[in-house]
Chain A
Amino acid sequence: MKNKSSILTVLAVVLAASAGPVMAADDGKGKELSGRDIAFDNKKGNCLSCHAVPNDPKAVAAGNIAPPFIMMKERYPDRAKLRAQIWDSTQANPKTAMPPFGKHRILSEQEIDLVVDFVQSL
């Protein structure tokens, strides 16, 4: 019984977290996170860990494991293809270093959409 109620609590927390809009966790004002915020946050997308963003002055101390984000519209004219790459890039390349952000629920579907928009704008 105790087990059941704790499962319910976990469920309630998970539902509450996934139902509402994407909020900044440690920001009391409840500001919605932009695609850029999610991409840069090292607890969220942490894209800068591997990708540089040459045209964004805030994108400092970026890694160089993966290609820089430039001319993304030309490189990924098909939005669905870019989204699939972020959702699970092992599909296109089994040896990739990139975490499967959708498949492993590192980001929510909504967060991935925001990141796709941001990355495509670069």
Chain B
Amino acid sequence: MKRRLSIFLGCLLVVANIGAYASPEDDRKALLKHYKQILPNVKQADYVLGALALNPDAKEQYDSIMMFPPFVNDVDVGRELWEKPFKNGKTFTSCFRNGGKNVAGSYPYFDNGVGKVITFENALNACLRHNDEAELKYGSNELGLLSAYAKSLSDGMKVNIKVEGKDALAAYENGKDYYYSRRGQLNFSCAICHVDNAGKFTRSEQLSPMIGQAAHWPEFRAGTELVTLQGRFRQCQKNVRAAPLEYNSEEYNNLEYFMTYMSKGLPMQTPVFRK
């Protein structure tokens, strides 16, 4: 009897735990609700525009710049890299389904085989490796430009990230912890600016909401200066006087995984101009 009671209580505890546990989908919905409250006039699809969605004048300037993007030649360099045959005659298209069209929105994904997050840049390098070519250095302009072109083939694709299984969830939670932890001499977390204070101004810069942030990379800043998402992580960390991590570090990849999940369902805009 006693044993049955304890089993019963144990079951109750499990049920209570499930009730209290926030899934990635719960996190995303809670965040959407938060932004609806603090930025009631922004349509969900416009979160991809970041701070531009909050400033009609800036958005108008952006639209006119994007009609003739100043970075077309840079993206062309990426296209040449993408189309150049490997020594075995194959190209990057052989490594991706659909010839690489509308695939980038499914990255990063969690690979249970290797037990870690695989970013789109990882997939590009894996393609080089499988074809006996030298990999490109993470953080290099070359890999950035290649990813800019390759991701442009997925422009408009809806972000479609999956977190399935306990290891994938652990990577997601690790990225989430990173986003919400304070660090650096200035003691900021990513969330203090981009969750708590989204829409407000620091000096004359308006803070973008986190949802949408991962869906429009790489960016070309001030016209032709290529900045990747992880390059932006590094800039932010320098701004708060924290030590930036290495490109392609496990922490940054997990952070990218978490942030991209938060942009789930939004149409990718790749690549884009930012001032």
Physical interaction between A and B: yes
Report the nearest B residue to A99, measured CB to CB. B186
6 inter-chain pairs at a CB distance below 8 angstroms, sorted by A residue, are: A63-B201, A63-B203, A64-B200, A65-B201, A97-B188, A99-B187
In whole angstroms, what is the CA distance A28 to B188 when docked? Answer: 33
Q: Is the CB of B186 within 8 A of A106?
A: yes
In whole angstroms, what is the CA distance A106 to B185 when docked? Answer: 7
Residues of chain B with a CB closer than 8 A to A106's CB: 185-186
Report the nearest A residue to B202, measured CB to CB. A63
Stretch at the interface among B29-37, B79-87, B189-197: B189-197
In whole angstroms, what is the CA distance A95 to B201 when docked? Answer: 18
Q: Is the CB of A104 within 8 A of B187?
A: yes
Q: Is the CB of B193 within 8 A of A97?
A: yes
B72 to chain A, nearest CB (A): 33
In whole angstroms, what is the CA distance A104 to B24 when docked? Answer: 34
In whole angstroms, what is the CA distance A42 to B187 when docked? Answer: 16
B73 at the interface (CB under 8 A from A): no
Report the nearest A residue to B193, measured CB to CB. A97
Given contacts A95-B196, A97-B193, contact A90 B201 (CB under 8 A): no
B6 at the interface (CB under 8 A from A): no
- Where chain A touches its partner, the secondary structure class is loop
A108 at the interface (CB under 8 A from B): no
Report the nearest B residue to A61, measured CB to CB. B204
In whole angstroms, what is the CA distance A28 to B203 when docked? Answer: 28
Residues of chain B with a CB closer than 8 A to A48's CB: 203
0/1 interface trace, chain A 59-95, chain B, CB 8 Å (1 if under):
0011111000000000000000000000000100001
Q: Is the CB of B203 within 8 A of A97?
A: no
A122 at the interface (CB under 8 A from B): no
> Out of A61, A65, A100, which one reaches B197, CB within 8 Å?
A65
In whole angstroms, what is the CA distance A90 to B203 when docked? Answer: 22
Q: Is the CB of A49 within 8 A of B187?
A: no
Report the nearest B residue to A106, measured CB to CB. B185
A59 to chain B, nearest CB (A): 11
Report the nearest B residue to A52, measured CB to CB. B201
Residues of chain A with a CB closer than 8 A to B193's CB: 97
In whole angstroms, what is the CA distance A105 to B193 when docked? Answer: 22
Q: Is the CB of A97 within 8 A of B192?
A: yes
A50 at the interface (CB under 8 A from B): yes
